[in-house]
A and B are shown apart, each in its own frame.
Chain A
Amino acid sequence: MVGIAMPAPDRHVLERRDNIVAALKAIVPGEGVIDALTEMRPYETDALTAYRQMPLVVVLPETVDQVSRILRYCYENDVKVVPRGAGTSLSGGALPLADGVLMSMMKFNRILDVDFPNRAVIAQPGVTNLGITRAVEHEGFYYAPDPSSQIACSIGGNIAENSGGVHCLKYGLTTNNVLGLEMVLITGEVIRLGGKHMEAEGYDLLALMTGSEGLLGVVTEVTVRILQKPETARAALVGFPTSEDGGRCVADIIAAGIIPGGMEMMDGPAIQAAEDYVNAGYPRDAEALLIVELDGPEAEVDFLLARVEEIARANRAGYLRVSTSEEERLVFWAGRKSAFPAVGRISPDYLCMDGTIPRRELPRVLAGMRELSVKHGLRCANVFHAGDGNLHPLILYDANKPGELEAAEAFGADILRLCVAVGGVLTGEHGVGIEKRDLMPEMFSEDDLKQQQRVKCAFDDKHLLNPGKVFPVLHRCADLGMMHVHKGQLAFPDIPRF
């Protein structure tokens, strides 16, 4: 392992491994407990493959009652738990701990209720993102948030990461499309939040759970909103001589009151890699390529595409093609959607970063990245969700060359610092995990992080759920509740009046 250190394993827990395995086997019979090294191998990493760690033991519960009993056992015996969905996290969120139980939720793979009149689906957390759309598309519905990993990633993982996708600009992130949850707390208590209705009573815990990266509870059931599929979708493929032109075009489209279904940008190196890989007909001489997809009623799509064309021309578009068939639209997307494997072909390894910036800063950040690329001696290709300023720089490196992974990580950290410096954030959709954990102080003060940790303590006072993720330092919960002022020692002994 490199770079990011995980908490040292608790020797007392390691010594009790046999007992722990036996206890889990008593809760989950049959093949639901995996303790043989070779069989645990597939769980040693997620999609942040530079980090690997064998878990203490893997457990695959099948019922809520089993989840509850496992968590209660772990709580009572001070054993850490790492929840896991499909293991596609790019931030190391599902990285196991040597002294922790890895709890895979992938046996929770059933759709429980498809409710068209209420436009809702209730699914178990191990159902894939695409599985939800598959269950409703025969009636013309779909689930809107569409991470590129949607064939594989689980809806439970989507909740934990508050995942986004190409369509989030118009249709919102996971958090805007989740209506309810059932989850199990580390104490084994089962709670329900929200439902098929909109107005939840009391605090919006659903908002806290969404994006909590497996640190607050284990999701065992999810209710999501489904939408009627748009009548049609068409896309424009636009090439620009500079990224400034592309960036201005994006701003002008939004200023014209148009919120496209998707608006994606690629820079020169990404265009070349994609074109080499799938031959989508991208203009190789463009410095920036924009895919603007309009979806909705036909009349609207035609009308808006005409406006987008005008705006693109006004911003020096050197290349402009509008899809005239569904096949052509899909070809436009083919290059963008295969950007990761395309980059994977020109480089043995790559790191996928995920910062968000105010869109106006795009030229400055791209220029900054070019300088950083020279500084760290590594290449970088950029794909990004242009509409919402979410960048995905892909840093190319070769793990077999000594020092390259370290250089890639340093390059990535510099990019994220740059994002924060221009008013952006560390992560737009991939989560903090372990990857951005130690950068949290770039964005948050000690007091900012303290508030977040109070939330953690309210749910998991022993820090047993997914420790080592998100927080650079975990304070003891008892220390966080204390007031640092005492009666009589304040600036306002009398009633102050401002």
Chain B
Amino acid sequence: MTHSALTPTTAEETRDFLAYAAAEELPVEILGQGSKRALGRPVQTAHVLDLSRLSGVEVYEPAELVLTAKAGTPMAEIEALVAGAGQELSFEPMDFGPLLGEAAGKGTLGGLIGTNLAGPRRIKAGAARDHILGLDAVSGHGEIFRSGGRVVKNVTGYDLPRALTGAYGTLAVSTLITLKVNPRAETSASLALNGLSDAAAVAAMCAAMGSSAEVSAAAHLPEGICQRLGVAGEDRPGPVTLLRLEGFGPSVEYRFANLARRLAEFGPAERIGDAASKALWQAVRDVIPFAGSRNPVWRVSVPPGLRCRTDAALAQPHAGGRLLRLERRAVVAADAGRRGA
């Protein structure tokens, strides 16, 4: 049971508390909105450091492609703000809410950095770690420090902001974070191939990723999964392989035609337009087919070429008699493209 929640509103208060906790050797749970609290083992500490009141966007300069906000700023606020300027966080951070049984749309910037979120565009744009530029944080010794900067290109000193990203708050408590933002694509479309076997789907995705079509997301939804995405009009029962193209209108059209030609051997290419494509990828991003599932959901990251073998291995019952129950053959994503700018 936790006893007390501390809700600092400044970096200095955060520092004073952490200095105290360090001196008294008291473990502390660090929390934004608690939207990802169900990840990993439960933490039991005497104190909770609740950063939700350390909130607010400090600087947003669309022309410089940078945004600086306090760690407890809700992601919903940030996403709405940048969308208003035609921009986005191009690493497409997933929303864990539905999968973890929390409401959708929760989460803070600090939590996003702490867990290094990414989404289907990871193959092209990378993850949160590829977009963090700088941070202010408080060390476990109770010292305020700054690392990185507010410009896109910077190699001054060790890259602590990137190294702290994905550390789940185990190295420092960030209080102020600067991210790189990107222009939002003018439009998008998805190329769908229906009825492919897993092996054929992997071959098709590898061919697509190796083409110059600049595919920004690739996923194979085995039989029965698409129906569970909950996207109106997308209730195909059979397997479907999705490849997303984004950019300026004429470019998307041109690349779609090229990609369809390149993948002709895998069957006819179906075109899914901007709105439906966006809804589909959001559902894939948030792993909606397994929302509310009581079985453990695993995310396995392998090089693209190994995908089939891994998939088969996971399908085998665990040898030791204890059955490893998996949501078998979940959403297979082409998870090994480049980490982008």
A interface residues with partner B (beta carbon < 8 Å): 115-120, 140, 144, 161-162, 164, 168-173, 175-177, 179, 195-199, 203-205, 207-208, 210-212, 225, 227-231, 251, 254-259, 296-300, 303-304, 356-360, 385, 388-390, 423-432, 436, 440, 443-445, 447-452, 455-456, 470, 483-487, 490-492, 495-498
Contact = CB atoms under 8 A, between A and B. Distances in A.
A34 B59 CA distance: 54
Contacts of B254: 297-300
A491 B17 CA distance: 9
B105 interface: no
B305 A117 contact: yes
A452 B145 CA distance: 10
27 contacts: A118-B303, A119-B337, A162-B155, A171-B341, A198-B335, A198-B339, A199-B335, A204-B116, A228-B211, A258-B183, A259-B341, A296-B251, A299-B253, A300-B250, A300-B254, A356-B151, A389-B151, A425-B149, A425-B154, A427-B154, A443-B156, A445-B145, A450-B143, A456-B158, A492-B20, A496-B6, A496-B16
Contact of A451 (B19, B65, B160): B160
A204 B165 contact: yes
A294 B65 CA distance: 19
Interface in B235-264: 247-248, 250-251, 253-255, 258
Contacts of B319: none
B311 to A, nearest CB: 14
Given A171-B340, A197-B335, A485 B142 contact: yes
Interface in B165-215: 165-167, 171-172, 182-186, 206, 209-214
A447 B337 contact: no
A179 B286 CA distance: 25
A388 B151 CA distance: 8
B169 to A, nearest CB: 12
Contacts of B142: 485
Given A119-B209, A389-B151, A483-B23, 15 more contacts: A117-B304, A173-B341, A175-B159, A176-B126, A198-B335, A211-B155, A225-B339, A230-B212, A255-B62, A300-B247, A428-B153, A431-B155, A436-B156, A450-B143, A455-B158
A207 to B, nearest CB: 4
Given A204-B165, A483-B22, A161 B302 contact: no
Contacts of B165: 204, 207
Interface stretch (B7-15, B216-224, B226-234, B287-295): B7-15
A77 B156 CA distance: 31
Contacts of A456: 158
Contacts of A257: 86, 183-186
A385 B153 contact: yes
A123 to B, nearest CB: 16
The 10 lowest CB-CB distance pairs between A and B, nearest first, are A300-B251, A257-B183, A199-B301, A207-B162, A299-B254, A172-B341, A196-B303, A428-B153, A225-B338, A492-B20
A493 to B, nearest CB: 8
Contacts of A229: 212
B140 to A, nearest CB: 10
Nearest to B26: A495
A358 B130 CA distance: 19
Contact of B159 (A164, A211, A231, A428): A211
Given A161-B155, A176-B341, A427-B154, A205 B130 contact: no
A303 B19 contact: no
B336 A198 contact: yes
Nearest to A167: B341
B180 to A, nearest CB: 10
Contacts of B143: 447, 450-451
Interface in B106-154: 116, 122-123, 126-127, 129-130, 139, 141-147, 149-154
A115 B209 CA distance: 13
Contacts of B158: 208, 211-212, 452, 455-456
A251 B64 CA distance: 8
Contacts of B335: 197-199
A300 B254 CA distance: 8
A356 B212 contact: no
Interface in B299-316: 299, 301-305
B61 interface: yes
Most central of B7, B126, B144, B155 by chain A CB within 10 Å = B155
Given A448-B146, A451-B160, A176 B340 contact: yes
Contacts of A492: 16-17, 20
Given A117-B210, A172-B341, A358-B61, A389 B152 contact: yes
A204 B155 contact: no
Nearest to B24: A487
Contacts of B182: 259
A316 to B, nearest CB: 18
Most central of B47, B62, B122, B301 by chain A CB within 10 Å = B301
B4 interface: yes
Nearest to B171: A203
Contacts of A448: 145-147, 157
A204 B129 contact: yes
B63 interface: yes
Given A389-B151, A498-B7, A450 B251 contact: no
Contacts of A495: 3-4, 47
Given A212-B158, A440-B157, A428 B210 contact: no
A276 B212 CA distance: 38
